[in-house]
Homo-oligomer: A and B are copies of this chain.
Amino acid sequence: MEDLVIVIMEAHANTEQLAVVIERVDSLGLQAHVSAGAERTVVGVIGDERPVDPALFEALPGVDRVVRILHSFKLASRDFHPADRVITLPNGARLGGPEVLVMAGPCAVESREQLQATAAAVAAAGVRVLRGGAFKPRTSPYSFQGLGEKGLRLLREVADELGLAVVTEVVTPEDVPLVAEHADVLQVGARNMANYSLLRKVGDAGRPVVLKRGLGATVDELLQAAEYVLSRGNGDVAVCERGIRTFETSTRFTLDINAVPVLKHLTSLPVIVDPSHATGRADLVGPIACAGVAAGADGLLIEVHANPREARSDGAQALDPATFAVLMARIGRVAEAVDRRCA
């Protein structure tokens, strides 16, 4: 895969400064294409195998700016891997194929009773992947941080009773082996999207990965983070839009719905939408889940709690089982309207 950056010389750069730029292009084994206007000269730099680092030109004298034209990820790009990647889970559920895969469960595993009741409810509604947090990254050090290993064991046991696959978050590199022992899919949360030590470790774990977009990260950076995992030889990565930080305060985050078709265009990795975290409000989860599917998402991550008002975290965004069952039917209808079906 090629790369291309444009070096824009200052309005009054002289020929000596231009020569230094071209010399550097040559020294890096890249090709330079010079376009000289009456006032400005620009140099197109074309690389062949690896991304060209704009920083190598930005500090040269006479250079005004350097603009990257192509994307700085390779393995994650649809150019490199045109066909949709499909991730098949141990229980046969598939992510990235014709079906829209719904993953549901509580924000945090709180107890066996809570988890069993919730898991049974989502399974009854047709769900095949159980989500639930055992390690919870919390903004405040004084908030409930999850049950840890005990939570992982509960997830595995309850899921196995119901034939469900398990997706759960891992928050630190040293926990990767433990989480990989119990879970079918490792989730990297938004706060850890740029935690490169964790990404490398997760890339080595031999499990599918759900990688959430950081709340201040661009689509391009999300795919570069995916590249960290892919570059370890793990191709089973799904990326998840879960809302970004904007000035709007009526919802916790702003779901970047545009990112769904943008990602489908740029990458062949499956794309997931998380309407629960993106809105923070249970009454918005349904409309946004449907919007995600209509926009082309391959999967959804939805928080469901057997009794939301007793939830120890994020109760305001959890659906109760009855509401969720109605939503599942609606999601199925929307999926069919856009030529998909709901797994």
Could you list which residues of chain A lie within 8 angstroms of chain B, going by C-beta atoms? 1-2, 4, 6, 8, 11, 31, 33, 35, 37-40, 42, 44, 46, 48, 50-51, 53, 55-56, 58-61, 66-67, 69-70, 72-73, 79, 137-143, 171-174, 191-192, 194-198, 214-221, 224, 227-228, 231, 243-251, 254-262, 265-266, 278-279, 282-284, 287-288, 290-296, 308-309, 311-316, 318, 330, 333-334, 336-338
Question: B residues within 8 A CB of A294?
Answer: 287, 290-291, 293-294, 334
Q: How far is the CB of A236 from chain B (nearest CB, A)?
A: 17
What are the residues of chain B within 8 A of A243 when measuring CB–CB? 258
Q: Are B51 and A137 closer than 8 Å at their CB atoms?
A: no
> A218-B250, A287-B294, A338-B290 are known contacts. Are A142 and B244 too (CB-CB below 8 A)?
no
A selection of 24 A-B contacts at a CB cut-off of 8 Å is: A2-B37, A2-B39, A6-B67, A33-B33, A33-B35, A39-B79, A50-B142, A140-B224, A171-B196, A173-B174, A174-B174, A216-B244, A244-B248, A245-B245, A248-B256, A249-B249, A250-B259, A251-B262, A255-B257, A257-B291, A261-B284, A290-B295, A291-B292, A333-B336
A295: contacting residue among B51, B56, B291, B312, CB under 8 A: B291
CB neighbours of A314 from chain B (8 A)? 55
Number of copies: 4
CB neighbours of A247 from chain B (8 A): 216, 218, 244-247
Q: How far is the CB of A157 from chain B (nearest CB, A)?
A: 26
With contacts A8-B70, A141-B231, A291-B294 known, what are 9 further pairs, Cβ within 8 A? A6-B69, A51-B142, A55-B312, A139-B194, A219-B248, A254-B254, A255-B257, A287-B296, A333-B338
CB within 8 A of A214: which of B216, B224, B256?
Answer: B216
A273 to B174, CA, bound (A): 32
A246 touches B246 (CB 8 A): yes
With a CB–CB cut-off of 8 A, which chain B residues contact A248?
218-219, 244, 256, 258-259
Nearest 10 Cβ contacts at the A-B interface: A216-B216, A58-B316, A59-B315, A33-B35, A172-B197, A333-B337, A294-B294, A191-B194, A290-B294, A291-B291
CA distance A191 to B195 in the complex (A): 7
Question: CA separation between A212 and B303, bound complex, in Å?
Answer: 31
Nearest residue, chain B, Cβ from A1: B39
